[in-house]
Amino acid sequence: MILVIGGTGNIGKTVVEGLLGKGEKVRILARDTKTAVQVFQQAEVVQGDLDDPASLAQATEGAEKLFLVTPLHLEQVRMKSNAIRAAKAAGIKHIVMSTGIGAGPDAGVEIGRWHGESQEEVKATGIPYTFLQPTFFMQNFMMSAPTIIDHGAFYLPLGNGEVSFVDARDIADVAVTALTMPGYDNTELPITGGQAITCGDAAEIMSEVLGKEIRFVDVTLDQAKEAMVGAGLPEKLADLMNELYALGPMGHLSYVAPTVETTTGHKPRDFRRFLEDHADAFRAE
């Protein structure tokens, strides 16, 4: 039995689908069990969340492996800690956890240190682990869909920096491999797309796929923060995101890792493939 925490998000949903496709027994921890049951009819669904230790104890009971992913959250270290402690108590034999590229106690950005704290806690349990360390998701462009639809532009503080955006489906494919194949105990896997592109490149590909001109508008970090906070993101999380964005123009987000192909056997999905698969999200109804 493999327990998936975060099974309805961008990565987790595809992890569940991949595991079920391989005939694995899957259990999902979900706050909204009705929706989860409708989406994953072949999986066992248990009600609970990362703030409820009793539900975590129930969810981990009898499970052999754990896939753990959480969204960017002010309390993500504590929330992951709850799951890690439950996994230890239940005798989980392998934890596959999604963190971030460059994560570690001495990471240069705060969110990397948060992820590093969670990684160190897993290591301290003695449970074999696999840490998935992805870069920026292609799916993050979905947040720009409203402005792309309304006035043909997206706004990011990335300048001409190249970024090796990765499709969340590729992260999930790596996770499924680590959960079902031997050889991934106590490993840290940086996960990127197959090439680094600028936002200008992304705009050109969008224009071709969507059949209309799409512009990239470079904005300042202050403008980006104002927009994120205006959209409801807590100020602290906006600051964390800006720390990451600031790395782009300096060339620190362009690293391309071979992990997707070496673990899954297929090349990473490129940005054009991502857009073709999600084109309807960027078009007016």
**What tens digit of pLDDT does each residue of 209-238 get?**
999 999 999 999 999 999 999 989 999 999
Measure the CA–CA gap between 194 and 253, rounded to whole angstroms.
13
Please, which residues have CB within 8 angstroms of residue 33's CB and are 6 or more apart in sequence?
A: 45, 46, 47
| Average pLDDT value for residue range 238-259 | 93
In this predicted structure, the answer to whether residue 8 has a pLDDT above a threshold of 90 is: no
| Average pLDDT value for residue range 58-62 | 91
- Residue 9 pLDDT class (50, 70, 90 cuts): confident
Element (H, E) at 46: strand 44-47
In this predicted structure, the answer to whether residue 72 has a pLDDT above a threshold of 90 is: no
Q: What percent of the chain has pLDDT over 70?
A: 100
Q: What is the pLDDT of residue 30?
A: 83
Q: What is the pLDDT of residue 14?
A: 93
CA 59 to chain centre: 22
Instruction: Answer for the pair 64, 93: CB distance below 8 angstroms, yes or no.
Output: yes
In this predicted structure, the answer to whether residue 265 has a pLDDT above a threshold of 80 is: yes
Residues of each domain in the chain carrying CATH 3.90.25.10? 135-166+192-255+269-285
Please, which residues have CB within 8 angstroms of residue 95's CB and are 6 or more apart in sequence?
A: 65, 66, 68, 84, 87, 122, 125, 127, 128, 129, 130
Measure the CA–CA gap between 140 and 135, rounded to whole angstroms.
11
Higher pLDDT, 12 or 118: 118
In this predicted structure, the answer to whether residue 188 has a pLDDT above a threshold of 80 is: yes
In this predicted structure, the answer to whether residue 35 has a pLDDT above a threshold of 80 is: no
Measure the CA–CA gap between 163 and 236, rounded to whole angstroms.
23
Q: What is the pLDDT of residue 44?
A: 86
**CA nearest to 47, candidates 14, 5, 1, 90:** 5
Instruction: Answer for the pair 65, 2: CB distance below 8 angstroms, yes or no.
Output: yes
Measure the CA–CA gap between 6 and 30, rounded to whole angstroms.
8
Other CB atoms within 10 A of residue 145 CB? 15
Homologous superfamily, domain 2-134: NAD(P)-binding Rossmann-like Domain (3.40.50.720)
Mean pLDDT of the chain: 93
**CA nearest to 27, candidates 8, 45, 7:** 45
Residues of each domain in the chain carrying CATH 3.40.50.720? 2-134
171 exposure class (CB count in 10 Å sphere: 0-12, 13-18, 19+): buried
pLDDT in tens, 141-162: 999 999 999 999 999 999 999 9
| Average pLDDT value for residue range 51-79 | 92
- Residue 40 pLDDT class (50, 70, 90 cuts): confident
pLDDT in tens, 18-27: 999 999 999 9
pTM value is 0.93
- Residue 199 pLDDT class (50, 70, 90 cuts): very high
In this predicted structure, the answer to whether residue 4 has a pLDDT above a threshold of 80 is: yes
Q: What is the pLDDT of residue 45?
A: 86
Its CATH architecture, for the domain 135-166+192-255+269-285, is Alpha-Beta Complex (3.90)
| Average pLDDT value for residue range 92-118 | 95
In this predicted structure, the answer to whether residue 266 has a pLDDT above a threshold of 90 is: yes
